[in-house]
Chain A
Amino acid sequence: MARLLVQLKLRLVLNALRSSTAAQTSFIISTFFAFVVAVGGFYLLAQFRGLTASVDLTTVIFTAFALGWLVLPIFAFGLDGTLDPATVALYPLRTRSLAVGLLAASAAGAWPAANLIALLGVTVGLARGPLGLLVAVVAVVLQVLFCITLARLVTTSMARLLRSRRGKDLGVFLFIPIFALIELLGQVIPNAAANGGITAAAFAGVDAWMRWLPPGLAAHAIQDASDGHPGTALARLGLLAAVIIVLGWLWVRSLGRALVTADTATGSSQLRGTALPLARYGLRGAVAARFWIYQRREPIALVYWAMTAVIMAVVSASTILGSHQHPAVVIGSAVVGAGFVGYFHANSVGLTGPSFVIEALALTGRRSLRAYFSGQDIALSVIAVPLLTAMCWVLAFAVRNPAQGVPATAVALAGLGAALALSNILAVTLAYPMARRAGSPMPQAAQGFGSYTFGGILASVAGVGVAVTPVLLVAAFTSTAPAAVRTPALIICSAAYGVALAWAGVQIAARAAEGRLPELCQIAVRSTI
């Protein structure tokens, strides 16, 4: 059974290479990143040699790998057929042999190999002496086994949920911490380290509680063996092996249940109200109501708002964490935040997908199109105004310069108006179909439209940057005016300017959309989200 399922896994991998160009590209990129993780991880762990906090840092890395194994299979659930017990439930297989087979299938492939190679960096970075080396190899094997068993238990226990709409929503929500982590590792930490805000010594003692988790047991076993305490090392490895056995036992039980449990439809709950809010305010109100509901119920919309907040924080992060102070960094956050609000909603037709046809059938002229675009603006503003304002003030206090809050808020309000105008215009002139690809919870531009995404970001962020120039000039020239007069005047005038920009965007977008509704419908229908 193990051989058969490993062959199945390898066949799935090979078939990916023989299928569409998109699948081939995806496979090559995934393999490349696995290679980068293997080499990069090994190099990183090897670099810890001789550091006082080497065991703490190793524990953090081991825990990060375990978390990756916990989360990533949830994304890959629809991608890897061997993850879902439903695919084998039809066949006459015994649970125990099936469990061994599925475990072996999990260990096959580029990512498990990359995981193993990366973690073997501890043989250079942490292990000392022959005993330390031997324990390091055993600890790494046990750590990988722990990760695989944990991932299997989680995916098997959650299989019914993951097949449902709610499981897919969960996958989308998990994108928020992952995006924040990517920004943290790719932007914030390197910048802070370069500025002297983070050093290796700062990690000393961070594993005070992590050392008792299975990844911590593996790392500290290597340390103990290297320090000449083989008994303690063996005890830690024994404890880790016991945890793996318990997880394996729980997984086999979970698998046994999953094989005989009916795959029911999503256990959906009833919503409280049935009436459409704002519907009494004509077409504009109805559209605003629909978009407002979507901002609350569509996980992708919520993720976009969270990403906006994360991006704003990242722009100011170097000043918050580093030793360097940039005097106008929060204003930069406001511009980028507003720009990304515009970008995230610039392809509203593609993001709405085939259901846009229902709206297009009822949009019978420029007047109704104006109502349609302004309705969207109203719904987005209800969230964007408080979010951008709150982020500006939070960041102003975080950089220890609360005075920046006033001009940053003014820029954010004016920038939001520009962003809404640009998003409506781009929604008509730069519309493109979206696709949800296997392995990724977030919709992306369909094949061949990747450049549209880049164009959308560039047009929105640069457009907002240009549009807020008058506000920046006014803020600079009035910086010595009494705050009691300047603050309300600046905020109100900037907000009015933003409303005027948004209004102009509605007019232009409605005029442009009037003759393009059939083409927009075809783009919407091609979206597979």
Chain B
Amino acid sequence: MSVTGSEPAIEVRGLRKSFGAKEAVAGVDLEIAAGSLAGLVGPNGAGKTTSLSMMTGLLRPDAGQVVINGLDVWADPVAAKTVIGVVTAEARLFERLSGAEMLEYAGRLRGLPAAEARSRAGQLLDVLDLAADAKRLVADYSTGMRKKTALGCALIHNPPVLFLDEPLEGVDPVSADVIRRLLTRLAGSGSTVLFSSHVMELVEQVCDHVSIIDKGKIVVTGTTAQVRGGKTLQQAFIDLVGPRAGDEEVLSWLGSSSS
């Protein structure tokens, strides 16, 4: 399935992964154009995180190919890793480093000179509203602060392609707005952003392209307007993956004046 536009920055073909008898990803095909801000949405257990892990070289697929900016992730992982930034669902950070040390370390790991890594770390901490807590241990950060720190680590080497797994989960509205603006700015400058989320309003607001994944397969992909089809994205999503049966009848006591 193809998201139309210019040269694809992310091309995924026939991606598969099984864990024992359970097929988590059952043949994902996806193309994301360069400069897109694309959303990958799906219910819990649909295969979003597994797909993103395979696209970023963190989980070896059983079959399939992932090409990022013309570099095959599994044939040449060394080259592919240099062009991506990744924010995982649980912000994976070094708990015993301070926020400033964490960002600087991420920059040094990415080959930035020490002074440049330190300078970019300071700027990112400012923009992400973490400057006041820069000297505190990451272990003492709240969920939102951890997400922002993880985003800073993923951005510090200015990657052309950014992958984010649930970037706004547990983030307060002000911080969410900062992250939203950063992602929009990044896509506007020609970088490609692919993120997974449960928050349909967010995807509808910021993404120009949306793919819906269910039971390990992409069930629909296209521009946000195409996928919505005149409805809200939330309604389109529920129509596609199936609503849950109502259980309201059994809770007849709920909300009544009797105790």
Contact = CB atoms under 8 A, between A and B. Distances in A.
A67 interface: no
Contacts of A364: 77-79, 81-82
Interface string B160-190: 0000000000000000000000000000000
Given A286-B108, A355-B92, A365-B78, A518 B101 contact: no
Interface stretch (B137-145, B225-233, B241-249): B137-145
B98 to A, nearest CB: 5
Contacts of B134: 274
Contacts of B105: 276, 279, 286, 289-290
Interface in A243-295: 265-266, 268-276, 279-280, 282-283, 285-287, 289-290, 293-294
A442 B86 CA distance: 30
Interface in B71-94: 77-79, 81-82, 84, 86, 88, 90, 92-94
Contacts of A521: 58-59
A481 interface: no
B37 interface: no
B117 to A, nearest CB: 7
B137 A297 contact: yes
A362 interface: yes
Interface string B91-123: 011111110110011101111001001100000
Contacts of A285: 108
B92 A268 contact: no
Nearest to B85: A361
Given A275-B118, A276-B105, A518-B57, A290 B135 contact: no
B94 A358 contact: yes
Please classify how large the interface on chain A is, using the bins under 10, 10 to 19, 20 to 34, 35 or more.
35 or more
Given A293-B96, A365-B78, A268 B140 contact: yes
A271 B96 contact: no
A279 B108 contact: yes
Contacts of B194: none
Contact of A361 (B81, B97, B135): B81
Nearest to B82: A364
Contacts of B95: 355
A364 B93 CA distance: 19
A165 B140 contact: yes
Interface residues of B, number: 41
Interface string A286-330: 110110011001100000000000000000000000000000000
A358 B108 CA distance: 11
A272 B98 CA distance: 10
A287 B79 CA distance: 21
A519 B110 contact: no
Nearest to B76: A364
Contact of A298 (B96, B100, B106): B96
B13 interface: no
A283 B140 contact: no
A268 B137 contact: yes
B136 A522 contact: no
A289 B95 CA distance: 14
A279 B139 contact: no
B136 A271 contact: yes
Given A270-B135, A362-B109, A517-B77, A354 B96 contact: no
A360 interface: yes
Interface string B40-68: 00000000000000001111100000000
B153 interface: yes
A269 B136 CA distance: 7
Contacts of A359: 109
Nearest to A275: B118
Nearest to A366: B78
Nearest to B125: A274
A357 interface: yes
Interface string A148-188: 00000000000000000100000000000000000000000
A293 B97 CA distance: 7
Given A270-B136, A364-B81, A519-B60, A297 B96 contact: yes
B173 to A, nearest CB: 19
Contact of A357 (B60, B92, B110, B142): B92
Among B78, B81, B86, B108, which residue has the most Cβ atoms of chain A within 10 A? Answer: B108
A518 B60 contact: yes
Interface of B: 56-60, 77-79, 81-82, 84, 86, 88, 90, 92-98, 100-101, 104-106, 108-111, 114, 117-118, 134-137, 139-140, 142, 153
Given A287-B109, A364-B77, 9 more contacts: A265-B142, A266-B140, A270-B135, A279-B104, A279-B114, A282-B108, A286-B108, A289-B105, A354-B92
* A-B pairs with lowest CB-CB distance, top 9: A286-B108, A362-B109, A268-B140, A274-B100, A354-B92, A297-B96, A364-B78, A270-B135, A280-B114
6 contacts: A165-B139, A265-B142, A273-B135, A355-B93, A358-B153, A518-B60
